[in-house]
Structure 1
Amino acid sequence: MSKEAGKQAARDAVDRGPILVWGAGAIGGTVGAHLIRARHAVVFVDIVPDHVAAIRDPGRGLEIEGPVAAFKVTAPAYAPDAVQGTYRRIFLAVKTHDTEAACRALLPHLAPDGYVLSLQNGLCERVIAEVCGAERTMGAFVNFGADWLGPGRIIYGNRGAVVVGELDGAMTPRVTALHGILRETFEPNAVLTPNIWGFLWGKLAYSSLLYMQGLAEKGIADTLARPEILPLVRALCSEVMAVARAEGVTPLGFNGFDPKAFYAGASEDAARASVAALVEFNRPNAKTHSGIWRDLWVRRRATPADAQIGVVIPIGAKHGIACPALERLIAMIHQCERGERGMSDDNLNELMKGLR
C-alpha cells in the first residue's frame, strides 16, 4: 500500500468513528436517533440532566414518537463539561442564540481536520465559522417537524426538506459522504447543494412566518390560510428576500415556499399561490404549531428571535434596506416573552395595522 493510500485508509477509518451530536433536542435528537438505528456510533451532548440520563439509561432511552417513525435507542450522553475526546464530525443542534457558547465549548473536542455541521435555523454558519474556522464549518438546512416533549421523548411529526452543502459551494468528499449518510439513514430525498446560503435565506423568510404564527392561537396551516393576513405574509417575506438579494444570494424554495413570489414587483397572486402550497404542506402534519409557539406558550422560555430572524435587520441596514415588519414582529414576540401580551389570533391583526 502506498503512503497516500495508507493516509486515505486512516482517514476512512476515522470517518467511521462516532458522530458527536451537540444538542439532543428536537432536531439533534431525531437525526441522532436515526443514525443510531442505522448502526452508526453517536455520542450526545445536552444541557438538560434528566434528558441526558434518559438517553443513557437502557431502561428508558431516547424514544422517537409520531407518525413518521416510532422507535427507541440508547447511546452515550453527557453534559457539555463531561464529554471527552475529539471528533471529526460534530452535528450542532442547539438554539440559534446559544451557538457561540456551544462552539466555544465544543472546540476542544473538534479534530483539526474535522467539521461542525449546523443543524439549526438562521445564519448560524457565520458564527460557527468565526469560532471554529470556515474550513471546519459545513452548512445544512432542515425543515422536518419535530418537538422535544420531555426527557427521552421526541415527536417526529413530519418529513421535510433536508439539505447539506459546503459554505463555498464546493462538492468535497466529506460533504458527499455526509449526504450519502443522511440519505441512507434519515431522509431519502436529502439534497446536496452548491448553494446552501440560498436555502438558509429561504428558511429565514419562512421562519418569519413561523414567528408570526407564534403570536397566534391557530396552528401553522390555519394561520397561513387566513386570507386577510396575506399582506403581512408578503411584507415579512419580501423584507428577507430583498436583503438576501442585496447580499448577492439567490434564495431557493422548498416545501411550498417560492422565494420569487416575494421578490420586489412579484404579484399578489404569486404570493397567494406560494402560501396555498405552504398550507398544503403543513395541513397533514402532526406538528401543528411552530417551535416558537411552543417556546412562548408551552415551555415559557425566551425565543431566539434576535439571533435568528433578527440578524436580517442589521444586514439590511448595511444595504440601506429597512425591515419594519420584522422589527414590529420581533417587538411583539418580546412582549409575549415578558408576559405583556397574551396568545391571540388578534395579535396578527394588530401587527397588520402597524404596517399601514
Structure 2
Amino acid sequence: MAVSVVDDDPILIWGAGAIGGVLGAYFARAGQAVHMVDVVQDHVEVMRGEGLQIQGPVEEFRQQLVSDTPASLRGKFRRVILAVKAHHTDEALDALVDHLSEDGFVLSAQNGLNERRIAERIGSERTLGCFVNFGADWLAPGRILYGNRAAVALGELDGTRTQRLCDMHALFQTVEPNAVITDNIWGYLWGKLGYGALLFATALTPESMAEAMDSQAHRGVYAKLGTEVMQLAAAARIEPLGFNGFDPKAFATGDQGGIDRSINAMVEHNRHTAKTHSGIYRDLAVRKRKTEVDAQMGIMLELGRRYSLATPAIAALCDLIHDIENNQREQSMGLLDEMLQRCA
C-alpha cells in the first residue's frame, strides 16, 4: 500500500537508473514533487511521456515524472539525491552544483564512499549519507526492475540527528518501510564495501550471485576479500555494520565458522530476488561498459598502501575485472580458480 507524503518542494534526483528510478517513482507516487535528471535522452522522454514503469515481484506500476537531461535542466533545488554510478560522481557534481540552492544539500544513494568526495566539493555540512541495498536493474528506457526489498539506512556524516535527516528518512520510508536512521552511516557504507567485494567476485562468472557465492570450492576467495576490506575498515577506525547476512565481525576476525554462516546467509538472501545478478555483472555482460571497480575496490587498494596493509585478493579482483572490461578475458568460474591461486 502506497504511503502518502504530500510535498511541493521539488526534490532533484540526478541519475534515473536502477536506484534513482525506483526512488523517484515511489516518491512521486506518494505525492512528493520530483524532478529527474538522466543522460539517456530516450529514457528521459519515456519518463516525461508514458511514464517510468517499475516492474518485478515487489510491486508493478507506472509513474509519469518531470525529467530532463543535464543540458536541458533549469532551476535550483534544495534537496538533491545523487544516484549515478560511483565513477561518474565527479562529472555529475560538476553539472549539478549550479542547480544546488544556497541552503541545499546532496544525499548520495550510491555504492562506495562517495560521501567523502561530495563533502570535499560542497562541504560535509551539505552532504547526507545513505545506504541502499535493495535490488534493482535498468532494463531499457522507461523500464526498471525492482527485484527485492532490503536494508536502507540514512545518516548525517557526523552521526548527529537533524531535521533534514528525519525528513529524508520519512521520504525513504515510502520506498522501504523498514528504512532506519543511523548514527554510524560510515559503518553501513563500509559494511556494503565488504559485501560488495564478494559481489564483484560473483561477477567474474556467468552464474547468479547466489550460485557463484555458494561454490564451496571458492569459499576462500570470498573469505579473503571480506577479510581484507574489514581489516582496512579497522585501520580507518570504522566499525562496519552487518545487514542482509553480511557479518563484519566474522570477516574481521577471520572466524571461519562465522564466515561460512555469513556467506550461507548472503546466498539465501540472494536466492529470493528477481535481480539474480549484480549490477557489476550487468555492466560487464549486458551493457558492455566500465564498472565501478576502481571507484569502489580501487579505493581499497589506495587505503591498503596508506595503512601498509596487503590486499592481494582485492588487487587480483581489480585486475580480472579490468581484463573483462578490456575484452581480454571472458567471465567464467575459472577466474575464481585464478583468484584462489593469487589469494594463497
Indicate whether 1:352 and 2:344 are aligned: no
- Which position in structure 1 is the counterpart of 2:179? 190
CA–CA separation in structure 2 for the residues paired with 1:86 and 1:321: 44
- Which position in structure 2 is the counterpart of 1:171? 161
- Which position in structure 1 is the counterpart of 2:204? 215
CA–CA separation in structure 1 for the residues paired with 2:55 and 2:241: 31
Question: Residues 1-12 of structure 1 correspond to what in structure 2 (within 5 A)?
Answer: none
The structural deviation recorded for 1:227 is: 1.2
CA–CA separation in structure 1 for the residues paired with 2:126 and 2:110: 16
Residue type of the alignment partner of 1:147: D
Q: Contact 2:15/2:37 (CA < 8 Å) preserved in 1? A: yes
CA–CA separation in structure 1 for the residues paired with 2:236 and 2:339: 27
Indicate whether 1:29 and 2:21 are aligned: yes
Indicate whether 1:317 and 2:305 are aligned: yes
TM (norm. structure 2) is 0.97
Residue type of the alignment partner of 2:213: L
Q: What's the CA shift string for 1:146-175, capped at 9, x where partnerless?
A: 000010000000011111000000101110
SS in 1 for 2:78: strand
CA–CA separation in structure 2 for the residues paired with 1:176 and 1:301: 37
TM (norm. structure 1) is 0.94
Provide runs of 4+ in structure 1 moved above 2 Å: none
SS in 1 for 2:136: strand
Residue type of the alignment partner of 1:26: A
CA–CA separation in structure 2 for the residues paired with 1:235 and 1:279: 17
The higher radius of gyration belongs to 1
1:76 to 51, 66, 70: 66
Q: What's the CA shift string for 1:23-75, capped at 9, x where partnerless?
A: 00000000110001101110000000100111001xx2100000001000111
CA–CA separation in structure 2 for the residues paired with 1:111 and 1:278: 41
2:11 to 19, 22, 33: 19
The structural deviation recorded for 1:277 is: 0.6
The structural deviation recorded for 1:16 is: 4.3
Number of aligned residue pairs: 338
Indicate whether 1:229 and 2:218 are aligned: yes
1:119 to 106, 109, 112: 109
Indicate whether 1:56 and 2:48 are aligned: yes
- Which position in structure 1 is the counterpart of 2:314? 326
CA–CA separation in structure 2 for the residues paired with 1:269 and 1:125: 34
CA–CA separation in structure 2 for the residues paired with 1:209 and 1:133: 32
- Which position in structure 2 is the counterpart of 1:5? none
CA–CA separation in structure 1 for the residues paired with 2:64 and 2:8: 19
2:240 to 234, 241, 251: 251
Structure 1: gaps spanning 5 or more residues: 1-14
Q: What's the CA shift string for 1:234-254, capped at 9, x where partnerless?
A: 110111001111111000000
Q: Contact 2:312/2:342 (CA < 8 Å) preserved in 1? A: no
- Which position in structure 2 is the counterpart of 1:86? 76
Q: What's the CA shift string for 1:195-225, capped at 9, x where partnerless?
A: 0000000000111111101110110111111
The structural deviation recorded for 1:346 is: 1.4
Q: Contact 1:19/1:42 (CA < 8 Å) preserved in 2? A: yes
